[in-house]
Amino acid sequence: MRLYDTLSGDTRMFESGPEVSVYVCGITPYDTTHLGHAFLYVVFDVLMRHLEASGHTVTYTQNVTDIDDDILRKAGELGMDYRELARRETERFQRDLAALNVRSPDHFPRATDEIDRMVDLIGRLIDDGHAYEREGNVYFRISSFSAYGALSKLDRDEMLEIAAERGGNPDDPLRDDPLDFQLWQKAAPGEPSWPSPWSDGRPGWHIECSEMALRYLGQPVTIHGGGSDLIFPHHECERAQSESLDPKHPFVRYWVHVGMLRYEGEKMSKSLGNLVLVGDLLERYSADAIRLALLSRHYRESWEYQVDVLATAQDWADQLAAALELPSGEGQPLDPSLRNTEFAMALDNDLDTPTAIHELLGLAGEIEVASGAGASITAAKDLLRAKGDNLGLTFQPALTPARPT
């Protein structure tokens, strides 16, 4: 298997022992699951299914950022406790992904359950000269990590621009360097807070993921993933602080990033409000159709959502399911071995799911022809079901078989 690694900028041979650890950045639960979320988690679901089918044992951790400015803002708008909002939206997210047949993580830690350990890591970074305290806030000193920027490959001006766009606040006068990022944030009046040696406050976003990845998976993590919008600043900062805590080992062996799903010309996101909700789609299309639509593009490609993508994918899902219902004859058995080989080669080639789908549809077509000719199709149907399972397909119909006009 070959897998594209963002840090090296190359498609590398995947080298690992039987145990593989996977960390995928999770949600900030203040709104409903959208198709962009589904794209990310379906891709990693297929990657883990393929690794397991190849003989690996996968341990999967996904975090929940259940304390954040957006959660506090949304909870205030709704007049509800931020913890209740996070609980409600996390449960809804879990239901939506389960409906898409996405496997649950082995570890699903909430940031608010891990804060004492985050405080310990921040203290170590201060002791080792990688961080400093200013007026109850703590910042990571990027000058202490010479490889800062190697993951994102951005120049300083680009970093400053993106940091400003994504809440990094480079104009903060307390920072020695505008790119120094926050490890601990002193609480504003009325905000929830936790005690620390520096102030009552809460941890920064980046240290949360480092702590949870290191605690539940250890260093190095085999595969660390997320959307391509997380490369900078989030993953760049995660790498800097984690490798500063343990300079002898890389934080991650393979950095894997999924392209952005766009809608109406913009990245699909809660902040922009241009959402296509998974729950709404499941009222019209089968889970298999949604998965096939998402997997019909290579995972590193950013693409524009159009309704006809799902209509086509529903036709594919119906075709695959129908092939499994065809009767087997007693004639010469259909040999599916070539399709099996091509399917495996596609997923081994940097998770080329569009080609893998093409092979499944080709096999379904061959099964239909062979069944009509009276051939034995039992082995071919078994293979179709097994390879469909590699893509997370259930071969179940839509709850409401409706199509857009």
Please tell me the distance from the alpha carbon of residue 310 to that of residue 290, in angstroms, as a whole number. 6
Please tell me the distance from the alpha carbon of residue 405 to that of residue 403, in angstroms, as a whole number. 6
Give the model's confidence band at 196: pLDDT under 50 very low, under 70 low, under 90 confident, else very high. Answer: very high
| Co-location of 235 and 310 in the same domain | no
Indicate the DSSP class of residue 67: S
Give the model's confidence band at 400: pLDDT under 50 very low, under 70 low, under 90 confident, else very high. Answer: low
Indicate the DSSP class of residue 178: T
Is residue 346 in some structural domain?
yes
225 by DSSP, 3-state: which?
strand
Please tell me the distance from the alpha carbon of residue 93 to that of residue 96, in angstroms, as a whole number. 5
Longest Cα separation, the chain: 81
Q: How many residues are listed for the chain in this entry?
A: 405
> At 379, which helix (H) or strand (E)?
helix 378-390
Amino acid, single-letter form, for residue 261:
L
Measured N-to-C along each axis, helices 337-348 and 353-372 cross at an angle, to the nearest 10 degrees, of 170
Distances (CA, A) of 92 to 34, 96, 269, 393, 399: 11, 6, 17, 21, 18
| Co-location of 22 and 118 in the same domain | yes
Which ranges of 30-169 does DSSP label H, i.e. alpha helix? 35-53, 69-78, 82-99, 115-127, 156-165
What percent of the chain has a predicted confidence (pLDDT) above 90? 89
| Co-location of 310 and 226 in the same domain | no
| Co-location of 59 and 16 in the same domain | yes
Contact between residue 334 and residue 380 where contact means Cβ atoms under 8 Å apart:
yes
Residue-wise pLDDT for 328-372, tens only, equals 999 999 999 999 999 999 999 999 999 999 999 999 999 999 999
Closest CA to 404 of 268, 321, 305, 258: 305
Is residue 123 in some structural domain?
yes
| Co-location of 94 and 40 in the same domain | yes
Q: Which residues span the domain enclosing 354?
A: 286-296+305-390
| Co-location of 369 and 228 in the same domain | no
| Co-location of 335 and 380 in the same domain | yes
Give the angle 75-76-82 at the CA atoms, nearest 5°. 35
Better pLDDT: 265 or 154: 154
Give the model's confidence band at 405: pLDDT under 50 very low, under 70 low, under 90 confident, else very high. Answer: very low
Count of domains in the chain? 2
Please tell me the distance from the alpha carbon of residue 103 to that of residue 113, in angstroms, as a whole number. 23
pTM given for the model:
0.94
| Co-location of 258 and 313 in the same domain | no
Is residue 182 in some structural domain?
no
- Whether the predicted pLDDT of 404 surpasses 60: no
Residue 399: what pLDDT?
Answer: 61
**CA neighbours closer than 13 Å in the CB half-sphere of residue 239:** 25
Closest CA to 130 of 250, 247, 241: 241
* Phi, psi for residue 245 in degrees, rounded to 5: -70, -35
Residue-wise pLDDT for 78-97, tens only, equals 999 999 999 999 999 999 99
- Averaged confidence pLDDT in the chain: 94
The number of beta carbons lying within 10 Å of the beta carbon of residue 101 is 18
Residue 318: what pLDDT?
Answer: 97
